[in-house]
Structure 1
Amino acid sequence: MVNDFRFSHRLKVRYSEIDGQKIVFNAHYMTYIDVAVTEYFHEGLKLDFEEADFDFVLAKSTLEFKKSAELNDWLNIWCKMSKIGNTSMTLNCMITRDGETDPILLAEIIYVSYDAKTKTTRPVPALVRSRIEEFENGLLTP
């Protein structure tokens, strides 16, 4: 399953992210994904949001919890853009413990290209679309 993803971002679970059960509190997984998605665009796609005249907002997230992460675990957050529509993009994510391939969490995230000035959706810019396609098809190296 890990082989299906070209991009990952690594981070360490901090004390402030665990709950009374000594596992990562569920809401923090969305933060982990958010951090990795930002790096997907910056590191993977080599995109500067201002240069690309691009912004996006979360439209939907579906999380499937498989295991729990714990304090001091090193996690890999894997990201793969699986679909690009006119204004929306579907991103699949998987979180694994460092050195393991079994998922801790699987996620499907839908983002919408957004114009902050008009507060409306807008088509995914051509530059963004082409970078995603190039990266996911192995033509752009992370």
Structure 2
Amino acid sequence: MPIVPPVWSAPVRFVECDQQGVVFNAHYLVWADEAVNAWWEQRGVPWTDLTGRGIEYYVVASALEWRSSARWGETVEVDAELEKLGRTSLTLRFGIRVGARSCCVVRTTYVCTADGASTPWPDDVRERLSGS
């Protein structure tokens, strides 16, 4: 699989590692959460653009697939790709790697909401996300 340019990266901190010396599993979700903001920004949809319209998005599901362990002192890079754009939700695939070595794939589904209820993505947002 070709390497997608990262949207976020950071060195692995000691505090993110468990007693086995590898990154504790929950941190992969944190890194995906960090990357999602950059992903939206790259598509011209900053958080304030959505919230200014009364729209927010929430995680409804995440799944992690481990491939290898990231370790203290390494630098992780996270890329993000749109896998599915639905009427009120979208699924992103986050590839987390150290160099060319894949560590984890996170798939997260987000739902678009307004006033606490699911709502369709605005047409202009859908256009920016789908590239059409």
Q: Shared fold (TM-score greater than 0.5)?
A: yes
Aligned to 1:140: none
Aligned to 2:68: 67
Aligned to 2:9: 10
Aligned to 1:128: 125
Q: TM-score scaled to structure 2, two decimals?
A: 0.89
Question: Is 1:7–1:80's contact at 8 Å kept on the other side of the alignment?
Answer: no
The change in CA–CA distance for 1:82 and 1:6 in structure 2 (over 3 A counts) is: farther
The percent identity for this pair of structures is 26
Question: Is 2:57–2:112's contact at 8 Å kept on the other side of the alignment?
Answer: yes
The change in CA–CA distance for 1:128 and 1:6 in structure 2 (over 3 A counts) is: farther
Question: Is 1:7–1:40's contact at 8 Å kept on the other side of the alignment?
Answer: no
Q: TM-score scaled to structure 1, two decimals?
A: 0.83
**Over 4 Å off, 4+ runs:** none
Question: What SS does structure 2 have at the residue aligned with 1:123?
Answer: coil
Aligned to 1:89: 90
Computed over aligned residues only, the root mean square deviation of the Cα atoms, in angstroms, reads 1.6
The alpha-carbon deviation at position 9 of structure 1 amounts to: 1.5
Aligned to 2:116: 119
1:38 aligns with 2:37: yes
